[in-house]
Amino acid sequence: MTIHAIILSFIVATLLGAIYHLLRGGSLRRLGLYIFAANISFFLGHGFSELVHWQLIRLGSINLFPAILATILGLLLTTALAGQEPVKERTPSKRRKRSK
């Protein structure tokens, strides 16, 4: 892979992670988790497809279809393993009484 393909791969994977977060929702921490998982699984999918010579849809030197498929599977697995986010209970705010 050339440096241009690596940069494009990071952009595509980050975009996929951000879109997944947009659809799924969650905190800023989850956004970071989804983007990290998307990048790792994108490169693993591309690398695996290079090993088995599976070249369905290519974008330059990137095996796009296997990489996107691995990214989707990686994001779903990440969501399943991470579980639900803990819900913070809102405590009633204590208002100060104004002295007259």
Please provide the average confidence, as pLDDT, over all residues in the chain.
Answer: 86
pLDDT at 14: 95
Domain carrying residue 75? 3-82
- Give CA separation, 45 vs 1, 72, 89, 93, 97, in Å: 14, 10, 40, 49, 61
Let me know if residue 42 belongs to a domain: yes
At 95, the pLDDT band (50, 70, 90 cuts) reads low
Collect all residues with Cβ–Cβ distance below 8 Å to 24 and sequence separation of at least 6. Answer: 30, 34, 79
CA–CA dist 97, 84 (Å, integer): 39
CA–CA dist 59, 76 (Å, integer): 24
Let me know if residue 89 belongs to a domain: no
- In this prediction the pTM is 0.77
Let me know if residue 46 belongs to a domain: yes
pLDDT at 11: 94
pLDDT at 41: 96
Let me know if residue 39 belongs to a domain: yes
- Are 36 and 12 contacting, i.e. CB atoms less than 8 angstroms apart? no
- Are 61 and 2 contacting, i.e. CB atoms less than 8 angstroms apart? yes
pLDDT at 59: 81
pLDDT greater than 70 at residue 76: yes
Q: From 80, 83, 81, 78, select the one nearest 38 (Cα to Cα).
A: 78
pLDDT greater than 70 at residue 31: yes
Let me know if residue 99 belongs to a domain: no
Mean pLDDT of 17-27: 90
> In total, how many domains does the chain have?
1
Let me know if residue 92 belongs to a domain: no
